[in-house]
Amino acid sequence: MPQIVVLPHVELCPEGAVLEVEAGTTVCDALLANHIEIEHACEKSCACTTCHVIVREGFNALKDAEDDEEDLLDKAWGLEPTSRLSCQARVPADTDLVVEIPKYSINHAKENH
pLDDT single digits (tens) 42-53: 999 999 999 999
SS3 label, residue 73: helix
Domain of residue 82, CATH code: 3.10.20.30
Can you tell me the distance from the alpha carbon of 69 to that of 5, in angstroms, rounded to the nearest whole number? 23
107 pLDDT tier (thresholds 50, 70, 90): low
Residue 105 has what pLDDT? 76
Residue 104 has what pLDDT? 78
With 0.75 as the threshold, say if the pTM is over it. yes
Q: Domain count of the chain?
A: 1
- H helix intervals, the chain: 27-33, 67-73, 108-111
pLDDT single digits (tens) 50-78: 999 999 999 999 999 999 999 999 999 89
Task: Specify if 67 maps to a domain.
Answer: yes
Task: Specify if 97 maps to a domain.
Answer: yes
Task: Specify if 15 maps to a domain.
Answer: yes
SS3 label, residue 84: strand
Task: Specify if 12 maps to a domain.
Answer: yes
Can you tell me the distance from the alpha carbon of 34 to that of 19, in angstroms, rounded to the nearest whole number? 7
- Domain membership of residue 52 as a residue range: 3-106
Task: Specify if 112 maps to a domain.
Answer: no
Task: Specify if 13 maps to a domain.
Answer: yes
Can you tell me the distance from the alpha carbon of 73 to that of 20, in angstroms, rounded to the nearest whole number? 26
Task: Specify if 111 maps to a domain.
Answer: no
Task: Specify if 29 maps to a domain.
Answer: yes
